[in-house]
Amino acid sequence: MKKSYPGINPEIADWKGQTITDFQEDLLIKVNGRISEKWFYTHMKSSELTLPRIDVLNMLCQYTGYKNWEEFRYKNSEISDISETIKKSNNVFITVPLLIFAIMLLLFGLYKMINTRNYCFSFIDAETGEAILDGKIQADLILRDETPVSYVSDNEGNINFRTDLSKIKMAVSAPCYKNDTIIRILKKFNRHEQVRLKNDPYSMMIQYFSQTNVKGWENRREQLDKMLSENAMICRVPDQKEGKEMELYNKWEFIDKLTMPASSLRHIEIVNSRYEKNQIVILRFKNNMIQK
């Protein structure tokens, strides 16, 4: 029909009037066949699915280029089967990768869940072997392509964290102990690790001087002179509750305040220190009581 009437409505169910008449005439011309208008409305415009007589089916198949109804059904059945096979194949190519991906994601999640465990790190003095019971030990867990994650010890000096890593690297700092970088292979069945820290004798001595009565102050000044570099930068870090600014001292200001009875620092808590050529070049400390 589109060859004879290019502008015809492609929806056969919408044909009416002259279009149906044109169709009847085209059938008559091309295959010498005829259908009534009533037949057209019964089979083409009705929602009821009723199969026409075989002679009409043969005529319509001839009109569309087939020998008869059997050939039409046979060839279109093959096309339908091929289309269905292609559809199923496409579904397989889509479904199988998605299924594999979902399984891998699930297995990865299970692996993470199974291998994620709690670990406890305690710290001991490398020289005395005694536990460091300090709630101010800090460990920065160094991660690949990420910023370090910081952990602070509890009052028993233990650091607890949860991870699925098999090997970790962390930077450890503690008052009166030298900073150190620790590398550990984590053991799944022994999740309590001990770390040895080397004490910082100069920091310990300075802290000790601040907590005892000043006796033999000249001797202590000589000792402090040897410990501290001439260009040492010494700062007092205020407690957050104080709301005060950081205080800076040069070497001799600090020695004077630490050793002179009239103007002294008391109860110093060393935060951290840095050395060059066996002398302290940077010292940071806290002190809740300053006497002037």
Please tell me the predicted confidence (pLDDT) of residue 273. Answer: 87
- The CATH superfamily label for domain 116-197 reads Immunoglobulins (2.60.40.10)
Please tell me the predicted confidence (pLDDT) of residue 281. Answer: 92
Please tell me the predicted confidence (pLDDT) of residue 175. Answer: 85
pLDDT tens, 172-219?
A: 988 888 889 999 888 777 788 889 999 888 888 888 887 776 566 778
Please tell me the predicted confidence (pLDDT) of residue 86. Answer: 58
Q: How confident is the model at residue 85 (pLDDT cuts 50, 70, 90)?
A: low
Please tell me the predicted confidence (pLDDT) of residue 272. Answer: 85
Please tell me the predicted confidence (pLDDT) of residue 181. Answer: 92
Please tell me the predicted confidence (pLDDT) of residue 3. Answer: 87
| DSSP assignment string, the chain | -TTT-TT--S-GGG--THHHHHHHHHHHHHHS----HHHHHHHTS-SS--PPPHHHHHHHHHHTT-SSHHHHHHHHHHHHHHHHHHHHHHHHHHHHHHHHHHHHHHHHHHHHHHH-EEEEEEEEETTT--B---TT-EEEEE-TTS--EEEE--TTS-EEEEE--SEEEEEEEETTEEEEEEEEE-BTTB-EEEEEE-B-HHHHHHHHHHTS---SHHHHHHHHHHHEEEEEEEEE---TTT-PPPEEE-HHHHHHHHH-SSSEEES-EEEEEEEETTEEEEEEEE-SEEE-
Among the ranges given (143-152, 168-177, 188-197, 239-248), the one the predictor scored with the smallest mean pLDDT: 239-248
Please tell me the predicted confidence (pLDDT) of residue 93. Answer: 72
Please tell me the predicted confidence (pLDDT) of residue 78. Answer: 65
Note the pTM of the prediction, 2 decimals: 0.50
Please tell me the predicted confidence (pLDDT) of residue 292. Answer: 39
Please tell me the predicted confidence (pLDDT) of residue 112. Answer: 64
Q: How confident is the model at residue 291 (pLDDT cuts 50, 70, 90)?
A: very low
Q: How confident is the model at residue 83 (pLDDT cuts 50, 70, 90)?
A: low
- For residues 206 and 220, the answer to whether their CB atoms sit within 8 Å is no
* Res. 140: pLDDT tops 80: yes
Q: How confident is the model at residue 121 (pLDDT cuts 50, 70, 90)?
A: very high
Q: Where in the chain is the domain with CATH 2.60.40.10?
A: 116-197
Among the ranges given (127-131, 255-259, 275-279), the one the predictor scored with the smallest mean pLDDT: 255-259
* Res. 288: pLDDT tops 80: no
Q: How confident is the model at residue 123 (pLDDT cuts 50, 70, 90)?
A: very high
